[in-house]
Amino acid sequence: MNTSNFMENVKELRKILALNIKRQREKQGISQEKLAELAEISANMMTDIEGCRTWVSDKTLIKLAKALEIDVFRLLLPVGLSKEELISTLYVDIAQDILKAKKDINTNLENILKKWGLV
């Protein structure tokens, strides 16, 4: 695994999470301190999350989503994509996953048939 690419992806995901939390919080007229209180986390942690200085545990992510009254996945969606762009991206990703799964299934089936002496 390329560590540089991994770290870039982590940084990008932190930015996405931070922006989505901030946008949703501001949309609802909630301060960072109030959101921290609602999510039962410290105000310092909330500041660090929105400042892209820390990552969150799965439990904290769920607490934040509940406090903002949104689905967890919405906090991790790329920022700035239109609904159509998001759907298009998801379709491409799903299609690629299906093609890979089909290839894996064919390879496994071929190996089983060889093992049984049917090929």
Model confidence over 86-116: pLDDT tens digits?
A: 677 777 778 888 999 999 999 999 999 999 9
CATH code for the domain of 44: 1.10.260.40
Q: Are residues 54 and 88 in the same domain?
A: no
Identify the pLDDT of residue 106.
93
Q: Binning pLDDT at 50, 70 and 90, where does residue 84 land?
A: confident
- Please state the rounded mean pLDDT for residues 29-34: 96
What is the count of structural domains for the chain? 2
Whole-number Å distance between alpha carbons of 46 and 53: 10
pTM of the model: 0.64
Q: What DSSP line would sit under 50-85, residue for residue?
A: HTTS----HHHHHHHHHHHTS-GGGGSSPTT--HHH
In this structure, the answer to whether residues 1 and 42 fall within a common structural domain is: yes
Give 36: exposed, middle or buried? Use CB within 10 Å, 0-12, 13-18, 19+.
buried
Shared domain check, 40 and 11: yes
Q: Which positions ≥6 away from 83 have C-beta within 8 Å?
A: none
The full length of the chain comes to 119
Instruction: Answer yes or no: do 4 and 47 share one domain.
Output: yes
- The residue segments making up the domain with residue 52 are 1-78
Whether residues 28 and 68 share a domain: the answer is: yes
